[in-house]
Each structure stands twice: as structure tokens, then as C-alpha cells.
């Protein structure tokens, strides 16, 4: 079970690092930078949509596996 959690952690880190475009938008929010595209209605398509869905699935898997390991151990 711990090996599955380790694999999910590594995949989650890798997939989050692939989201560089979203990270630049978030940094501009924190620093107060003006971004004209920030409040526009933009839909994710193709690879961006796949990366976002994989991030959500891996995040859920991380919490479920962590909870199971906590309950068992």
C-alpha cells in the first residue's frame, strides 16, 4: 500500500509541474499583477484538460490512500 502511495506522490508532483501556465497566473494574483486574461471565461481543451483531470484524480487517490494507510496502521 505504501508503494502505491509513493507512486501516486511522484506522479502528482510531476503532473503539477506540467501546469506551468496556470502557475504563472496564480503568481500574478499574489503579486498584484494585472492580467487581462485572468477574469475571462476560458475553457481548457486538449492536453490542458487532461492534465487538470489527472491532477484531480491523483489528488483524490493521494488522500484516499493516505486515509487507508492511517486507518490500517
Structure confidence by residue, pLDDT tens digits, 9-38 = 999 999 998 886 655 555 555 666 555 555
**Domain limits, the chain:** 2-72
Q: Mean pLDDT, to the nearest integer, of 45-51?
A: 84
Grid cell at residue 14: 510531476
Average pLDDT, whole number, for the chain? 80
Taking alpha carbons only, the member of 3, 14, 10 closest to residue 69 is 3
Q: What is the pTM of this model?
A: 0.69
Taking alpha carbons only, the member of 69, 61, 58, 73 closest to residue 1 is 69
CA dist 67 → 1, 3, 4, 49, 72 (Å): 11, 15, 13, 27, 9
pLDDT at residue 45, rounded to an integer: 76
CA dist 65 → 41, 56, 60 (Å): 34, 14, 9
Amino acid at each position: 500500500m505504501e508503494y502505491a502511495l509513493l507512486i501516486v506522490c511522484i506522479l502528482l508532483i510531476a503532473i503539477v509541474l506540467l501546469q506551468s501556465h496556470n502557475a504563472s497566473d496564480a503568481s500574478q494574483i499574489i503579486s498584484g499583477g494585472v492580467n487581462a486574461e485572468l477574469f475571462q471565461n476560458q475553457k481548457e481543451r486538449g492536453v490542458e484538460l487532461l492534465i487538470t483531470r489527472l491532477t484531480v484524480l491523483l489528488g483524490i487517490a493521494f488522500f484516499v490512500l493516505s486515509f487507508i494507510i492511517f486507518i490500517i496502521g
